Structure 1
Amino acid sequence: MTSERVHDVLVVGGGNGGLSAAAHLLRRGCRDVGLIEPAERHVYKPLQHYVGTGVADPEELVRPQASLIPEGVEWHRTAAVSIDPVRLSVRCADGSEVRGRDILLAPGAWIDWGLLPGAERALREGNAITTWVDSELDRARSRIAAMTSGRAIFHVHGQPASGQETAFKPLFIACDTWRAAGVLDRIEVVLVHEGPRLHAVEAIEQEIRRHLDDYGVDVRMSTHIQSIEGDAVALVGPYGSGAEHADLIVLHAPYAAHGFIAESGLDAEGTGGFIAVDPETLRHPRHPRIWAVGDGADLGDARTGGALRQQVKIAVENIRRARGGQELQRYDGYTVAPIATARRSLSFGEYDRELRVRRSLPVPDQIRSSPVWYALDRYALPQVYWHRLLKGRL
């Protein structure tokens, strides 16, 4: 028998975006908030790269989901399997149906290793590691620490990517680790980057290039990993195609949209199955009471925690404004690029949709790598995340 529950606002997804949105809604006076999320544990994803490279402890990474659900939010511990955008209802894996006057979608994306042939087997049995999956972090840390010679291939793919800039973190931290151990000169480090540029913002690209040159990394732009077989990586790109040997393969996880988005008709041509959304108002173009934030939405490059903070506040405010017939707020595409360039130094670039450099801190240069920005990203921001952001206080 199908049960049904109706909320004032229904949030789908209990990650960064969903939890903070639910908390903001309550603080803004929403009388009844529902949250659909099946996971029993919550991972602070930006810290995964530090744990996987040995500069942070695994205990810092995860908290029980139940401890983070805002008081007053009704938690539906199940997964969304389809959405009726006309009835504003969500059918769930447990057979229930949940509705909302407005629905705020924050489902994120999922890692689809099938998009990279041979990756799953290489992660399980071969030379591949990743810092994008929390269950793989122990292996990643030990393999990086054990590397004393040979060839290491680091992979950065194009969009869609969650926190694309942070894909440089394992590369730079590993290089700094090997340099400190006196073995970097014995390791050939190769960066396989699918994009034509290291970064769309010139100043950030120059900073990335400066550190790649310093570590002596062989950079292959516009190059794809076609497949992985044993210790052979098949590459396709302008620098030559064919299988190359690798003693260590560090993979950037390929992300895909959740299937229920397209099956529910919430995508559009050109979105790749991700949620169609007005990139400024965060409103669905065909269904005005459906809103979307985060990795699951087709918002271009803005797939970072810093971007999500802005998106959530604007989406929550726009739900209120839409109900009152007011002009909606606009999201300018703000996002951040926290790139650790060593074990104790980080570049903290900020920019918007027009690729203009932004500065939210009263300092002249956040792009130049500094231990100050590393301390902010490594120690301060996790505390802000757990104690302020997820509670709707920021």
Structure 2
Amino acid sequence: MTTEHVHDVLVVGGGNGGLSAAAHLLRRGSKDVGLIEPADRHVYKPLQHYVGTGLADFDELARPQASLIPDGVAWHRTAAVSIDPVQRIVHCADGSKVRGRDILLAPGARIDWDLLPGAEAALAEGTAITTFVDGALGDARTRLAGMTGGRAIFHVHDQPASGQETAFKPLFIACDMWQSAGVLDRIHVVLAHEGARLHAVEAIEREIRRHLDDYGVDVRLATRIERIDGADVTLTGPDGSGVERAELVALHPPYAAPAMIADSGLDGPGTGGFVAIDPETLRHRVHPRIWAVGDAADLGSGRTGGGLRQQVKIAVENIRRARGGMPLQRYDGYTVAPIATARRSLSFGEYDRALRVRRSLPVPDQIRSTPVWHLLDRYALPQAYWHRILRGKL
């Protein structure tokens, strides 16, 4: 007999967005919140780049999921397989069904290495590294520290991409480390960036370019890695296409939407399989009791933790407002670009959907890289994440 559970609000996904949304819902008066998430370990993803480059310890990275589930939330320790958006029923991997009066989707995006031929083999062989995968951080740390010469290709995906701006972190931290070790001049550092620009916001782009020039990085815009065969990397772009041999390839993984989104008919034309929501209200365009935040949503803006924090608060508030027939709040696409430009310096640019520079802190310039922003990103934000963001206090 199939077990069916019913909740006032059902949250799908127990990452940053899902946990913080569940906590905010409880704080806003929801009496019955359910959460579907199979993982027993929760990783603070922004810290992966610091662990993978040797600037943070492995034990700082994760905590048991059970210790983070808000008191009062019913945790369904299984995976969501499909969703009936009309009946608002989630079918789960363990055979159970979970229904929500409203459903808030926060399952994130998935890495799909099949989109980059040869990537998985290169990672297994040690030719390629990534600081976006928890289990690959030890190899990344070893390979970056041991690099003394040759060609190093760093890769940044265009959208859809989780942490697109943080993909600059391993490049800049490695360059600073190699410069300090006196080997940078012997390493031909290449940035293969799929976008036509380094960044859509001109001020942030100028800051990125300034540091790339200082390190002597060979910048290739609108350039893709088509495949990897051992040490041979096939590049395609306006600055030249062909095979280049590299001693090291640092990959920004290709991302895709969770399969259950399209399988459940929750995507739409032009969304690429991601949840078809109104990017301002975070409400599904067809199913008004379905909401989405984070990497799985077709938001048309940067997929970052800073943006997610704003989305969660607005989505939770809009669930309340929709039930009361009140006007919905609007998300303006706010996001943040924490770009480390050295081991102990970082640019902390904030901007919105209209590409206007925003400032949430009382300082004149957050875009120019300084050690202050590094301390915020490396030490203050992880503590805020564990103790405030996931608790619905920020």
TM-score when scaled to structure 1? Answer: 1.00
Q: In the TM superposition, what whole-angstrom CA distance separates every residue of 1:221-277 from its partner, at most 9, and x where no partner exists?
A: 001111000100001111111110000000001110011100100000100000000
Tell me the SS of whatever aligns to 2:82: strand
Tell me the SS of whatever aligns to 1:131: coil
State whether residues 227 and 233 of structure 2, in contact with CA within 8 Å, keep that contact through their aligned partners in structure 1.
yes
Which residue is 2:193 aligned to?
Answer: 193
Which residue is 1:235 aligned to?
Answer: 235
Which residue is 1:346 aligned to?
Answer: 346
Which residue is 2:246 aligned to?
Answer: 246
Q: How does 1:67-82 map to 2 (within 5 A)?
A: 67-82=67-82
1:211 and 1:130 map into 2 onto residues whose CA distance is: 21
Amino acid at match of 1:29: G
Q: How does 1:97-112 map to 2 (within 5 A)?
A: 97-112=97-112
Tell me the SS of whatever aligns to 1:38: coil
Q: How does 1:114-193 map to 2 (within 5 A)?
A: 114-193=114-193
1:302 and 1:254 map into 2 onto residues whose CA distance is: 15
Which residue is 1:18 aligned to?
Answer: 18
Q: In the TM superposition, what whole-angstrom CA distance separates every residue of 1:138-183 from its partner, at most 9, and x where no partner exists?
A: 0000000000111100000100111110000000000000001010
Q: In the TM superposition, what whole-angstrom CA distance separates every residue of 1:354-379 from its partner, at most 9, and x where no partner exists?
A: 00000000000000000000000000
Which residue is 1:6 aligned to?
Answer: 6
State whether residues 192 and 220 of structure 1, in contact with CA within 8 Å, keep that contact through their aligned partners in structure 2.
yes
2:300 and 2:254 map into 1 onto residues whose CA distance is: 16
Cα distance, 1:19 vs. partner?
A: 0.1
Tell me the SS of whatever aligns to 1:295: helix
Amino acid at match of 1:254: P
Asked if residue 305 in structure 1 is aligned to residue 305 in structure 2, the reply is: yes
Tell me how large the CA RMSD over aligned residues is: 0.5
State whether residues 172 and 342 of structure 1, in contact with CA within 8 Å, keep that contact through their aligned partners in structure 2.
yes
Asked if residue 265 in structure 1 is aligned to residue 265 in structure 2, the reply is: yes
Query: Structure 1 residue runs of 4+, over 4 Å off?
Result: none
Cα distance, 1:279 vs. partner?
A: 0.4
2:18 and 2:311 map into 1 onto residues whose CA distance is: 11
1:174 and 1:10 map into 2 onto residues whose CA distance is: 42
Q: In the TM superposition, what whole-angstrom CA distance separates every residue of 1:19-63 from its partner, at most 9, and x where no partner exists?
A: 000000000000100000000000000000000001011110010
Which residue is 2:206 aligned to?
Answer: 206
Which residue is 1:30 aligned to?
Answer: 30
Q: In the TM superposition, what whole-angstrom CA distance separates every residue of 1:167-209 from its partner, at most 9, and x where no partner exists?
A: 0000000000000101001100000000100000000000000
1:157 and 1:391 map into 2 onto residues whose CA distance is: 32
Q: How does 1:29-48 map to 2 (within 5 A)?
A: 29-48=29-48
Amino acid at match of 1:127: T
Amino acid at match of 1:359: R
Asked if residue 373 in structure 1 is aligned to residue 373 in structure 2, the reply is: yes
Unaligned runs of 5+ in 1: none
State whether residues 279 and 331 of structure 1, in contact with CA within 8 Å, keep that contact through their aligned partners in structure 2.
yes
Q: In the TM superposition, what whole-angstrom CA distance separates every residue of 1:264-306 from its partner, at most 9, and x where no partner exists?
A: 0000010000000000000001000000000000001231000
Asked if residue 318 in structure 1 is aligned to residue 313 in structure 2, the reply is: no
Tell me the SS of whatever aligns to 2:296: coil
2:2 and 2:153 map into 1 onto residues whose CA distance is: 51
State whether residues 49 and 170 of structure 1, in contact with CA within 8 Å, keep that contact through their aligned partners in structure 2.
yes
Amino acid at match of 1:229: D
State whether residues 164 and 302 of structure 2, in contact with CA within 8 Å, keep that contact through their aligned partners in structure 1.
no
Amino acid at match of 1:314: I
Which residue is 2:337 aligned to?
Answer: 337
1:225 and 1:6 map into 2 onto residues whose CA distance is: 46
State whether residues 9 and 102 of structure 1, in contact with CA within 8 Å, keep that contact through their aligned partners in structure 2.
yes
Tell me the SS of whatever aligns to 1:385: helix
Tell me the SS of whatever aligns to 1:25: helix
The alignment of Structure 1 onto Structure 2 pairs a total of residues equal to 394
2:279 and 2:71 map into 1 onto residues whose CA distance is: 30
TM-score when scaled to structure 2? Answer: 1.00
State whether residues 82 and 91 of structure 1, in contact with CA within 8 Å, keep that contact through their aligned partners in structure 2.
yes
Cα distance, 1:15 vs. partner?
A: 0.1
Amino acid at match of 2:243: A
State whether residues 126 and 231 of structure 1, in contact with CA within 8 Å, keep that contact through their aligned partners in structure 2.
no
Cα distance, 1:126 vs. partner?
A: 3.8
State whether residues 88 and 100 of structure 1, in contact with CA within 8 Å, keep that contact through their aligned partners in structure 2.
yes
Q: In the TM superposition, what whole-angstrom CA distance separates every residue of 1:110-151 from its partner, at most 9, and x where no partner exists?
A: 100010000000000141000000100000000000001111
Percent identity between the two aligned chains: 80
Tell me the SS of whatever aligns to 2:361: coil
